[in-house]
Structure 1
Amino acid sequence: MPRLAAALLVGLLAVPSLAQKSPEETVKSMTVADGLQVELFAAEPMLVNPTSIDVDHLGRVWVCEAVNYRRINFGRPILRPEGDRIVILEDTTGSGKADKATVFYQGKDLIAPIGIAVAKDAVGPGYKVFVCQSPDILLFEDKDGDGKADGPPKKFLSGFKGFDHDHGVHGINIGPDGKLYFTVGDQGVDGLQSADGKGRKWKSGSPDCQAGTVWRCDMDGTNLELIAHNFRNNYECCVNSFGEIWLSDNDDDGNQQTRICYVMPGGNYGYYPRGPGQSHWHEEQPGIVHKVLRTGFGSPTGICFYEGTLLPEKYRGQLLHTDAGPREFRCFHIKPKGAGYELEKENLVTSTDTWFRLSDVCVAPDGSVMLADWYDPGVGGHGMGDWTRGRIYRVTPKGHKGYKVPALDLKNDENVLAAWGSPNLATRWMALTYLNAERFSDLGRVGGVLQAARASGDPRAVARANWFMASYGKDLALSPADLGGSDLKPDLAQAFVRAVSSHYGDIAKMPGRNGRADWLFANDKWAPGTRREVVLALRQSGAGFAAPIIWSLAKFYDGSDHFYRAALNIACGTDPERRRAILADFDKHFPEWNDKVADLVWELRPPSVLPRLGKLLEDPKLTPAQKGRIVDILAVTDDPAAGKTLLALLGRDVPPEIKSRAIDNLQKFLPTKWKELQKGDAVRDAISNLLKSKGGRIAGLQLAAAAPDCAHHEDVMQLAEDVKGPTEVRTAAIRVLAKTHHRTSVENLEPFIKDPIVGPATAAALGEFLDSKGVNSGAKQALEILGGLVTGTGTSPELKQAALGALAGSRTGTGWLLQLKEQGKMPATLVADAGRLLRNSPFQGERNKAMLLFPAAGKLDPKRLPPPAELARRTGNAKRGEAVFQASLKGEAQCLRCHMVRGVGGNIGPDLSMIGKKASKENLFESILIPSKAIADQYLQWKVDTVDGKTVTGLLVAESEGSLTLRDANGKDHTFATKDLDGPKQKSLVSLMPDNLVAALTEQELIDLVEYLLTLKTASLTPDAWHVLGPFTNDASDSALDRAYDIESVKAIELDRPVKGPKGALRWNPVHVTSTGYLDLMAYYAGKSAMSMSYLYRVIESPADQDATILFGNDDGVKIWVNGEKVFENRDHFAATPARHQIPVKLKKGPNPILIKIVNGSDPHGMYFTLTSEQELKAGK
């Protein structure tokens, strides 16, 4: 079910769903942190579908409603013809519950806005209200303060893409500097410019403006500034009094990669480019700022700082956050860690009501916290199940009574100071604007207020004073000399640097005390976070000024602080000439090679270092780990000279893991950035030497596949023909032979069809020829061979299936199969499998025809089912539902072909391992029965038309300047050169998940399946690779399992240290698992894994002490140690199957080393390993 979860992201019904619970019942369903209480502030019909809220100085809650949510772009009827609303909710009695609702504005021009900021004029009754709704930020005015907009809104800023879309402009608020801060999702911008027409006209897609972004501007829309970029869908950012910017970023969609980020100005946060084989946020690559915390699955929404005093002290200054997916209101406690931070999560409010969907959080003037509840069976995916309900809750200390908002009278200094110290942004804004107005008429009074703020002893008050003074260039509350003071609080020092940078832009322009830049070098007493901020401030200075300071600060890098490294990279900038000028002196400042220098070279990529990396690889003093790091540095270098260095490495006597690392990178980059090397002697010689080496043949074939123009035909043919050779080698050779699309290649491949070992692989290889063009392309011959296999009588079932899959993977083959069915010549045994493949075809016209020729053999008619709300009331059997899900791997339902659960399944649709925690029961039924009603962005289908007349649809899995790749519903990738496309790619509103899959189930099976999916609530982790040490020898009695080596008793395993083996030293090598989660040791040992024993090692990071379960399948005997304690032993000789064994273990907070000892009798050989736990895990070293 490719879309069952993008999930679960709600379908839209023709009539409102029946409410899950009343507002009062929902409050009773909540679990609230000790010391706090939650009360209902307002509910339907006073408001419905709140997407965003703000609270003004009077304590009134301003609500953006979205009834007409995602209607226009999706061809759905408008639900509220008169348009959406902005509503003001007010508690006029102080009881703590709203008793008055005022419609501030309603109009057809308001279409599901997501973002609101209220700015009251300090003098007079007027209000300005900023509302986010792509393609604009709208400005409403209420000059007489009557709670009604004076008329339709003005366009404040325009140029935001994502109209009627979740990933446009949203999340607007006012910072301590009196500027507007807002975010834009990965729909991006086009033509965005400062309101006065000055400065750059921004368009997404450039190296410094990709995907999701964070911006700020003056309150009149001028001085527009891009702060950071390359997020996915950052719903909102928040800024505290010190100027720290934080946000949450949403990229769940089954990937469990939502995150909390500290925003460094100038930072690239790694979402683009998308491509297979890359990590989600590209943090393994240089130039990317890391997240602070991965929060796993969810739909993160509102975020703000708590700078009040009403709630208990431990929450003061901390992040408050809502996530509509797991239905949580959280506090993230911030702790500095080097130049970055770490976060500790505390759930403040959760609910068992599966419709509880918090969409925003805001702090009121009295210090209480307002929560907006979208209240719906699901969230995201551009869908909703209810549009008649919505709630606002209020969080206060336990036992607190009423809602008393402090009176705001700015006529005396004490009140101005109190307003400036308010926990409420709107109130602080009023104080700031009042002071700005007063400075023109009574500067002495302003100075008195500022002096009082400075003398208050409150660092936040001092920081706010700095922001105010910086706004018009007056002396700040600190001097540069203060930065060297040992008693200065780091957060205040950092706020000073941010204020200086904000005001002057280029800090070189700041008036000097004892020489303009002297203070920047007095950095030995600074906290790491202060150094980070100074480094970041240098990004706007010229190379001549910035370079010496950057190198002075770079020497403080401690060898592990990736936030500090990222800041240094940001300071070097993206302008090629400026960057080159700064990095020119790298060797002068870092002449010796060590791990710290390697990290800096990795991050900064100084051009002068590249030529000496090859010689460093020959240095006997460097450890394998250090040499591996050098290989990684070369791999991220675009210069083909780096590829040449890796090719030369293959001919040297270096550890096998280093060669393996080099080959992996050459295989990846020879077809792309190092393409010019393909026809050179270096590649040809490297492949030749590897093919002649018994242990290097797989590597040689991998390189040959990456550089098909190299002439090694005879050597490759020899390997394919060697019937005594390892199957993996022969199969790889056949794939290489298929790389050249010519008739002779088909003729060379044809004899292998009859080989029972490599016949299926040969059929798959021949499928690559079918859509080739030209008389001599081999397409005609390949079709004849594959067609004969399908219709022939002497073909084995396995080979028939392989030929069928090869034909269905091309347009030519698909057309041939459809014609065969029309002629009544298709073998009856293949009709079911052919129908399943062709109904999922990416070729639009052919797919439509297949729907008629191969109707699904259904057990039920979906049109006769009760509505999802009725189905949700029925109780199924989760155990039976699990059996239905597992059977779908080979059946028509196809759930497990597309989705992964606990490390097992396909990678077409989202991972469902935690779907029961996010989706309601009704939501699950809707997603299965009406998959196209709500499709998350990552699982949208895209359609491309080619210049030769093909129309292909699929998921977009990779896109670059020159090509894009679509993945079809059968899991096959189709890559197209951009030059071969007839126009741009187009979105499809039809889910990749067919809407008739449920026909393969009975009604009871459907109900049981949903019941099973609801049980999937634990986080799962399947490590992408293991460190493998071996092979050691074994025998028929598995004596190796009992033969203890030193590795089992050491306190800490050193992956760089060789271990004595039966035939000399053995080293740990990384081995990746397959896409199905299987660690294939038979393939790793190239057919020499019989009678062997190996050790496997990986570290798992846990955010807390917690119970976990290992889901394990082994072939053959095994022992497992977790944190040095043996937790499992098994001596069975069965083929490995996922989750055969469920092993309870205890994980501690931090790193948890896992050591596995596994033996083998006869092949195959390998294992499945997945960990499940309550809190998210991540793989360590």
Structure 2
Amino acid sequence: MNVFHYALPVLAAGVLLSCQSNRASQAAVVLTEEEKHLPENALYGLQAAANLQVGLFAHEPMLVNPTNIDIDAKGRVWVCEGFNYRNPLNPSNPYHPKGDRIMILEDTDHDGKADKQTVFYQGPDVNSALGIAVLGNKVIVSRSPNVLLFTDENGDGVADKKDTLFTHLGGEHHDHAIHAFSFGPDGKLYFNFGNEGHELRDKYGNPVKDVTGNIVKNDGHPYRQGMVFRCNTDGSEVEVLGHNFRNNYEVAVDAYGTLWQSDNDDDGNKGVRINYVMPYGNYGYTDEMTGASWSDPRLNREDSIPFRHWHLNDPGVVPNLLQTGAGSPTGILVYEGKLLPERFRNQLIHADAGPNVVRSYALTEDGAGYKATINNIVEGTGDNWFRPSDVCVAPDGSVFIADWYDPGVGGHQVGDLARGRIFRVTPSGDAAYKVPAVNLDTPEGAVKALESPNLATRYLGWMQLMSLGDNAIPALKKEYRSDNSRYRARALWLLSKLPAGNTYIQEALKDKDANIRITALRAGLQLKGDTIALVKQLVNDGEPAVRREAVIALRHNSSPAAPELWAQLARQYDGKDRWYLEALGIGADKQWEPFFNTWMKTVDSNWNTATGRDIVWRSRATSALPLLAKIITDPANDPDKSVKYFRAFDFHPEAGKLGILLSLLQAGHPQQARINVKVLGLLDPAHMRNNPVVQQALKIALAGVANPQEYLDLVGYYELKDKAPELLAIIRQTDDTKIQAAAMRLLLQLNGSATVQQALRKSPDRLIAALGAVGDKPSKDLLQQVVLNKQYSLKDRTAATTALGKGRSGEERLLQLLKKHQLPDDVKSVAVTIFKKTDRPEVREAASKYLDGLVVASSKLPPVADLLKMKGNATSGAAVFEMYCSTCHVVNNKGTDFGPNLSEIGSKLSAEAMYKAILSPSAGISFGFEGYNFKLANGTTLSGYIASQTEDDITIKVIGGISEKHKKAEIVEKKPLTGSLMPDGLGEGMGTEKLADVVAYIEGLRKG
């Protein structure tokens, strides 16, 4: 049956009108899984916060898969549908050839339920659109690779004209590319794209240059990964307001012009974050200088992966406002309405589809930045198919939630194409939906529209007031005198752009409200006024947030007065406020030498304080380098506790720092070996390996290092081929399997297979396991020699067979030995165990022919609907997971770090989605885990995914969790895999009972 219908729905008589915080009457209701998904039971699965209620505004078949919504001044809900979501990757899914729809849903009788539906536009060019913004009779639709602009010229709710704003934004309808636009209080558009947006081009395909002259492209010159933008309503004067995000899904702007957004982490790393977007900041998803992944080794790495994920210890990375753990963050807004209870007013409201929740973030000032606490608004406690994809404020102040409604969330697949819901959140007790009238005939009416909590209404008021010119000033001045700070800010933005705008800015710069002073400065900068004159008035402001804006305003300002103003602002840094420190860095961008040197003159010789050392650490001035060296070589300082200062050298050009780094190697520090270990990693071994100072420093470092990983790093970095005995000793003496594998890999790279072969003959103990952990062709060649050579003991050959059979290539090796009748009979029992566990049915069945049928053929599994009815045993499932899944996945720090970390997967996927992920992994490959076959110049082939890449290097993570770094020049061929690195057939290999058990186990892996 085609679920993509167009008929108006008739709401089932049993639909519950609203769910409230008191759910006692619902607690006794027990629903089957099938009943949970019926629209008449939609509200039984939701838990509203105290004093709130949730109503079901619309549901299937009126709409399916709502990806993004907006609400116009009439209170109508505009919906982007995603029925054709990622269809090229899921060709078995039904497809609507006419394309997806942009729809308008309306409640004509004001009972809180949609009863009228209009198709505004339908076409393949809006398939899976991820953003919609209604601006009067114009509608901006974000659907990669294009941003489309529709116009309804006659007001009938149907698009009459289509144009393009921007193009070349990532792949075809990619989730990590272009997202929604929103209208700012300054009359500009704000939007963002994720790390697959790549670049911005105009409607004709020409590269867009931002207002600083940089081509908008995430190639590191200067921007990386996801970005946040501002532009005029016609797409001109593009500004990049922040970069180096992963998948920043939507950006929200408050009345003062402050930006907020969320950002998704790499799957499984519990690092979802909420950001205050400090203008022009770097947000640390990849290394600022090289583009390397957060997982690559670096000095001063954070202890915890969720924080390491964002390079938070690096100078030049803006802090995160809040980290919320695992999730799939989507729409966000600033609630500046009055309908909801006080605790939600002027706060962020955010949808996170992964853990089935809509949250409010209560903001408070934190120095020059902010901090936040979480207040949940709606949770999917009874049905984890609740997937809030967006939130939007209506003209009456109620909040609408788009619910994608699916067993999983995003990625490359969709589990349900028949359903979708829109919910409406109001205070308890009143579900009626009455939209305030908008009267733009008078300036007072337009100002009233400007007060609306709804952006589309504000847009109408803003445009009308601008068109009135001088006639709008009396009404705006009256609004500016009101006691509502946010109304005042909106009025100020408009006043600043009308005649005599600078007069109002000058007055506002002296206002007692810090947020008004901030708004005034921002408005003045947009007018391209005298920046120095503006900053001078705020340089000694008592509020750190105001001084933050003042120092950022100095960015790229070449006035002779700018260095002294920056130095004045720098002297007010308190040594604790990272927000302020990063603002100083942004303000000094491209002018570090004059700014830093002026600050040094003002502090004279008293720079070596806690605050001074931080500024030295953050600085990119050449004159800061000897000061870093002085900090490091202070005999009272422990080099291991001063590691942040070593890391700071990575952010300076090679030419300026080389001499100072070499001097550090001869500093005569009491812990010189510890200094040498760190400094040697900062040098380029290709040019410094034969330097006598470096050679002597290496001897000291290697003799004094106690950490095996540091030893291996130095040996590998400097390619010290004379360290084979030491590497063998490390393998034999350590119990750390990762260290064993790293040492063996290094031994093979530096000394070749002959050295290892000779060592195996003398003492194979531990060397066999280390070879198995390496898993590449040379290591498997050596293991095969042991398996086939009966001069080795049966114990060693058994261990070698187990090690050889790891991974796909290992299974294929064993299968070839079987086919050639070369595998010795006394180790065939090991092969039976290996092939019983393989997730590839064809390999299992082929092996069974040569192993007397002992390898059981894969069993045919029942449909997912029947599997869902089974009650698996979670305890048994833990053992199944260890046997079948831990070779690629980590749970609670146990397992192999190859596929996504699954420690909290139960918070994100329903049981149905888990079954589908196991049974059809190629239908839903997590972003960042797309597989490739690589061929190297030396003939070696690798299968894995790209863990990190810079301009010169690429790190490939291969099955088994080992990362191999290669020069891009060494890669002669790179072919994307057509399916997942996790092949189909794992479920059949487990069998029905074990499959049900493992799903029961991973379903219980939830956020604690």
Q: For this structure pair, what is the TM-score category when the shorter chain's length is used for normalisation? A: 0.7 to 0.9
Q: CA deviation at 1:899?
A: 1.6
Q: Distance in 2 between matches of 1:927 and 1:688?
A: 51
CA gap of 1:612–1:583, structure 2 versus 1, over 3 A, is: closer
- Partners of 1:556 and 1:147 in 2: CA distance: 55
2:13 aligned partner = none
Contact 1:543 1:582 in 2 (8 A): no
Partner Cα separation in structure 2 for residue 135 and residue 835 of structure 1 = 50
Q: List aligned pairs for 1:82-93, cutoff 5 A.
A: 82-93=98-109
Question: Which amino acid is the alignment partner of residue 64 of structure 1?
Answer: C
Identical positions, percent: 36
Which amino acid in 2 is paired with 1:465?
Answer: A
Residue among 874, 891, 897 paired with 1:878: 874
Normalising to structure 2: TM-score of the pair?
0.86
**Cα distance in structure 2, aligned partners of 1:840 and 1:517:** 72
**CA–CA distance in 2 between the matches of 1:906 and 1:246?**
36
CA contact (8 A) 1:361 1:370 kept: yes
Kindly indicate whether the alpha-carbon contact (under 8 Å) linking 2:535 and 2:553 is maintained by their aligned counterparts in 1: no
Q: Which residue does 1:183 correspond to in 2?
A: 192
Candidates 588, 595, 599, aligned match of 2:601: 588
In the TM superposition, what is the alpha-carbon distance from 1:990 to its structure 2 partner?
A: 1.3
Could you tell me whether the CA contact under 8 Å between 1:193 and 1:224 is conserved in 2? no
Q: CA deviation at 1:233?
A: 0.7
For the residue of structure 2 that corresponds to 1:939, the secondary structure is coil
Work out whether 1:683 is the aligned partner of 2:694.
Answer: yes
With over 3 angstroms needed to count, the CA separation of the structure-2 counterparts of 1:299 and 1:836, relative to structure 1, is farther
Q: Which residue of 1 aligns with 2:862?
A: 866
2:615 aligned residue (583, 597, 600): 600
| Equivalent residue, structure 2, for 1:409 | 439
Specify the alignment match of 1:1112 in structure 2.
none
1:495 is matched with which residue: 503, 519, 522?
A: 519
| Residues 614-653 of structure 1: per-residue CA shift (max 9 Å, x gap) | 3443434556677444334346555377577667656766
- CA offsets per residue over residues 174-207 of structure 1, 9 Å max, x none? 1111222111111123352488977454222133
- Read off the aligned partner of 2:521 and give its amino acid letter: V
Task: Determine which structure has greater relative contact order: mean sequence separation of CA pairs < 8 Å that are 6+ residues apart, divided by chain length.
Answer: 1
Partner of 1:1055: none
What secondary structure does 1:169 align onto?
coil
- Residues 421-452 of structure 1: per-residue CA shift (max 9 Å, x gap): 0000000000011112222xxx2x21112111
1:760 matched to which residue of 2? Answer: 768
Matched AA of 1:457: D
CA shift in 2, pair 1:611/1:401, >3 Å: closer
Among residues 452, 461, 472, which one is paired with 2:487 in the alignment? Answer: 461
Name the CA distance, whole Å, in 2 between partners of 1:813 and 1:1007. Answer: 28
The residue type equivalent to 1:287 in the other structure is: G
CA gap of 1:806–1:539, structure 2 versus 1, over 3 A, is farther
- Kindly tell me: are residues 817 and 306 of structure 1, through their superposed partners in 2, closer, same or farther at Cα, counting changes over 3 Å? same
Partners of 2:1002 and 2:518 in 1: how far apart?
48
3-state SS in 2 of match to 1:385: coil
CA contact (8 A) 1:89 1:101 kept: yes
Provide the secondary structure at the position in 1 that maps to 2:887. helix
Spell out, residue by residue over 1:759-817, the C-alpha distance to the aligned partner (whole angstroms, 9 max, x if none): 4377579987x66xxxxxxxxxx887544312122435674467558867999999876
| 1:207-230: CA deviation from partner (whole Å, max 9, x where unpaired) | 332111111221112222221111
CA contact (8 A) 2:677 2:705 kept: no
Residues 559 and 256 (structure 1), Cα distance of their counterparts in 2 relative to 1, 3 Å cut: same
Kept in 1: contact 2:836–2:855 (CA 8 A) = no
Distance 2:821 2:76 in 1: 72
Contact 1:214 1:226 (8 Å CA) reproduced: yes
Instruction: Quote the residue 2:554 is aligned against.
Output: 538
Structure-1 separation of matches of 2:838 and 2:878: 28
- Report the CA distance shift for 1:604/1:975 in structure 2 as closer, same or farther (over 3 A): same
| CA–CA distance in structure 1, aligned partners of residues 82 and 482 of structure 2 | 43
SS in 2 for 1:617: helix
- Provide the rounded CA distance (Å) in 1 between the counterparts of 2:964 and 2:535: 57
Structure 2: distance between partners of 1:908 and 1:794: 35
Tell whether the 8 Å contact from 1:310 to 1:367 is kept in structure 2 after alignment: yes
Measure, in 2, the Cα distance between the counterparts of 1:622 and 1:277: 24
2: CA distance between counterparts of 1:248 and 1:612?
A: 37
- AA aligned to 1:913 is S
CA offsets per residue over residues 1087-1107 of structure 1, 9 Å max, x none? Answer: xxxxxxxxxxxxxxxxxxxxx
Bigger mean CA deviation after superposition, 747-756 or 404-413: 747-756
SS at match of 1:286: coil
Q: Indicate conservation of the 8 Å contact 2:676/2:700, yes or no.
A: no
Partners of 2:915 and 2:775 in 1: CA distance:
38
Match of 2:6 in 1: none
Of 833-842 and 929-938, more deviation after overlay is shown by 833-842
- In the alignment, which residue of structure 2 is the partner of 1:914? 904
* Residue 180 (structure 2) pairs with residue 171 (structure 1): yes
Q: Is contact 2:616–2:627 with CA below 8 Å preserved after alignment?
A: no
Which amino acid letter does the alignment assign opposite residue 277 of structure 1? Answer: P
**Shift in alpha-carbon separation, 1:529–1:227, aligned structure 2, 3 A:** same
In the alignment, is the contact (CA less than 8 A) between 1:635 and 1:665 conserved in 2?
A: no
Distance in structure 2 (CA, Å) of the matches to 1:179 and 1:765: 55
1:788 to 762, 776, 785: 785
What is the match of residue 958 of structure 1?
948
Q: Which is further off, 171-180 or 429-438?
A: 171-180
Change (3 A) 1:802 1:549: farther
Q: 1:263 aligns with which of 236, 252, 277?
A: 277
Matched residue type, 2:68: S
CA distance in 1, matches of 2:325, 2:793: 45
**Deviation readout 1:729-779 (Å, 9 max, x if unpaired):** 997997598266566x834861454225554377579987x66xxxxxxxx
Output the amino acid matched with 1:458: N
Give the distance between the partners of 1:527 and 1:797, measured in 2 at CA. 75
Secondary structure of residue in 1 paired with 2:1006: coil
Q: What residue is the counterpart of 1:1099 in the other structure?
A: none
Determine if contact 1:965/1:975 at 8 Å carries over to the other structure. yes
Give the direction of change, closer, same or farther, for the CA distance of 1:530–1:727 in structure 2 (3 Å limit).
closer
Q: Is the 8 A contact 1:763 1:802 kept in 2?
A: no
Q: Distance in 1 between matches of 2:554 and 2:637?
A: 34
**SS in structure 2 at match of 1:587:** helix
Rounded Cα–Cα distance in structure 2 between residues aligned with 1:640 and 1:560: 32
Alpha-carbon RMSD across the aligned residues, in angstroms, is 3.7
Partner of 2:24 in structure 1?
none
Q: Deviations over 1:888-918 (max 9, x none)?
A: 1xxxx2x122222222222112222222222
Relative to structure 2, which stretch is displaced further, 372-381 or 534-543? Answer: 534-543
Contact preservation (8 Å) 1:944, 1:951: yes
In structure 2, do the counterparts of structure 1 residues 81 and 479 end up closer, same or farther at CA, with 3 Å as the change threshold? closer
Shift of 1:989: 4.1
Give the number of aligned pairs: 949
Q: 1:472 to 1:867 in 2, by over 3 A?
A: farther
Q: 1:835 to 1:222 in 2, by over 3 A?
A: farther
Question: Residues 853, 115 of structure 1: CA spacing in aligned structure 2 closer, same or farther, 3 A cutoff?
Answer: same
Name the CA distance, whole Å, in 2 between partners of 1:784 and 1:113: 50
73-82 or 1005-1014, which deviates more: 73-82
- 1:884 to partner: Cα distance: 2.2
Mapping 1:979-994, distance limit 5 Å: 979-982=969-972, 985-994=974-983
Secondary structure of 2:492's aligned partner: helix
How big is each residue's C-alpha offset from its partner over 1:1006-1030, in whole Å with a ceiling of 9 and x where there is no partner?
A: 1121112222213xxxxxxxxxxxx
| Alignment CA distance shift 1:760-1:690 (3 Å) | farther
Answer yes or no: is the 8 Å Cα contact 2:271–2:325 preserved in 1: yes
Could you give the per-residue CA deviations for residues 1065-1100 of structure 1, whole angstroms, max 9, x where no partner exists?
Answer: xxxxxxxxxxxxxxxxxxxxxxxxxxxxxxxxxxxx
Q: Looking at secondary structure, tell me which structure has more helix per residue.
A: 2
Equivalent residue number for residue 21 of structure 2: none
Q: 1:96 to 1:606 in 2, by over 3 A?
A: same
How many angstroms does 1:478 deviate by? 4.5
2:315 corresponds to which residue?
286
Cα distance change, pair 335–641 in 1 and its aligned pair in 2 (3 A): same
State which drifts further: 802-811 or 824-833: 802-811
What is the distance in 2 between the residues matched to 1:413 and 1:44? 42
What's 2:399 paired with? Answer: 369
Cα distance 1:674–1:572, how it changes in 2: closer, same or farther (>3 A)?
farther
TM-score, normalised via structure 1 length = 0.74
The one of 211, 216, 220 aligned to 2:234: 220
Q: Which structure 1 segments of 5+ residues have no match?
A: 1-16, 121-126, 511-515, 772-781, 1019-1173, 1175-1181
